[in-house]
Amino acid sequence: MNSKLIEKPIISADSHVTEPADIFKNRLSKKYEEIAPRMIRRPEGGDVFQIPGMDNLYPITLASAAGKRGKELADQAFANFLDCHTGGWDPKQRLKDQERDGIHAEILYPSLGMFLSSHDDVAYKSAMFGAYNEWLAEYCEAAPDRLIGLGVTALESPEQGIKDLRGMKELGMRGVMMPGYPVMEDYDSRIYDPFWEAAVDLDMPLSFHILTYKGNTGADKPRGPKLNQFIRIIRGNQDIIGMLIFGGVFERFPKLQVVCAEADAGWIPHFMYRMDHAVERSPHNLGDVILSKKPSDYLKENIYLTFQDDITAFKFKDEMNIDRMMWASDFPHLDSTYPHSQALLAEHTAGLTALERTKVLHDNVASLYKLAF
């Protein structure tokens, strides 16, 4: 499938499945099958997931609201799951959805799994993510060159995380979505060095996706009007980037590849300036970490950025590393560009050269995940 925008197939670097009601059936021990997330219909309408141990219900139908705006989007909260985009769980339909939007392949993240990342019970999360990874591998088997799955880990410990990486690799996953917060210490701790090393050795890029941080899941109350939640959801990713760079993770593991998923990218030039300025002014605040390069250099080399409709990212492309910029459709989530991705891209990439456009829409993601098309 070739697009008029570029000669190569367009790849979405961040899309999603929508987990069906029976995703955990026959994939869990009896202990966990009895307390697995359960899809229920609210009295006022709308299918949601009820999750033991979490107060908020997960509105799965809003995770399948691509193409809707305004009142139609608000009404989606009261929809029945089976009336939503069936490509979220049916791979054959998913290929038709790709064709309608002019997309050849997608890197696939979870929906419910993002919400589960904030669950307090790490053993519970680990069981659910293991079942999800098995289901996703089966989903991707329908078209492994077009449905590119990323596994999910609860990261119970660095040692278990390494086992998870190996298990996901065996399932055919091309990378892994990380929890916003680990269970043990934080990601700048040296206890995670063996995990970073394993990720490099196994060639498994690590993704930090918005809305996977406890206290910033989209269900918690923002300051001010609800719309302010949309503005602040990128901050968890910014914290991760700063911690990994200032913590010397990329200094110790220069080949480590980290994806900042769906947090936009237009803010990156100022963020790099601010990091460089901070180190120049207060290097003592790095503690015992010694950086051989400017913080901005690590970001340009080790951090990949996905975004769907951030035109500012293209306006400031010359201030970033365009080899690390990756466009995404976010299908079938409510912020998706589907089914108008081609028109949006034609407008947003008008100022790019043909080579730059090809990098952002194909080459960069294909190189990161070793996709041969």
Tens digits of residue pLDDT in 42-94: 999 999 999 999 999 999 999 999 999 999 999 999 999 999 999 999 999 99
Report the candidate in 175, 171, 99 with the shortest Cα–Cα distance to residue 141: 171
Closest CA to 298 of 345, 341, 255, 347: 255
Q: Which residues pair with 206 in a beta bridge?
A: 176, 258
Half-sphere exposure of 186 (CA within 13 A, CB side): 11
pLDDT in tens, 185-240: 999 999 999 999 999 999 999 999 999 997 665 556 778 998 888 899 999 999 99
Nearest one of 139, 68, 70, 67 to 339, comparing CA atoms: 67
Taking 90 as the threshold, does the pLDDT of residue 3 lie above it?
no
Q: What is the pLDDT of residue 373?
A: 86
CA distance 176 to 129: 11
Average pLDDT, the chain: 96
In CATH terms, is domain 11-16+90-368 a member of 3.20.20.140? yes
Which residue reads 């696939």 in tokens?
108
The answer to whether 299 and 241 are in contact (CB under 8 A) is yes
C-alpha 84/C-alpha 63 separation (Å) is 9
**What pLDDT was estimated at residue 234?**
95
Closest CA to 62 of 46, 44, 51, 40: 46
Nearest 5°: CA angle at 101, between 303 and 336? Answer: 55
Taking only the tens place, the pLDDT of each residue in 131-183 is 999 999 999 999 999 999 999 999 999 999 999 999 999 999 999 999 999 99
Cα gap 308→289, rounded to integer Å: 35
Return d(Cα 152, Cα 348) in angstroms, integer: 31
Q: Is the dihedral of CA 296, 297, 300, 304 positive or negative?
A: negative
Residues 248-285: tens digit of each pLDDT: 999 999 999 999 999 999 999 999 999 999 999 999 99
Q: What is the pTM of this model?
A: 0.96
Q: How confident is the model at residue 99 (pLDDT cuts 50, 70, 90)?
A: very high
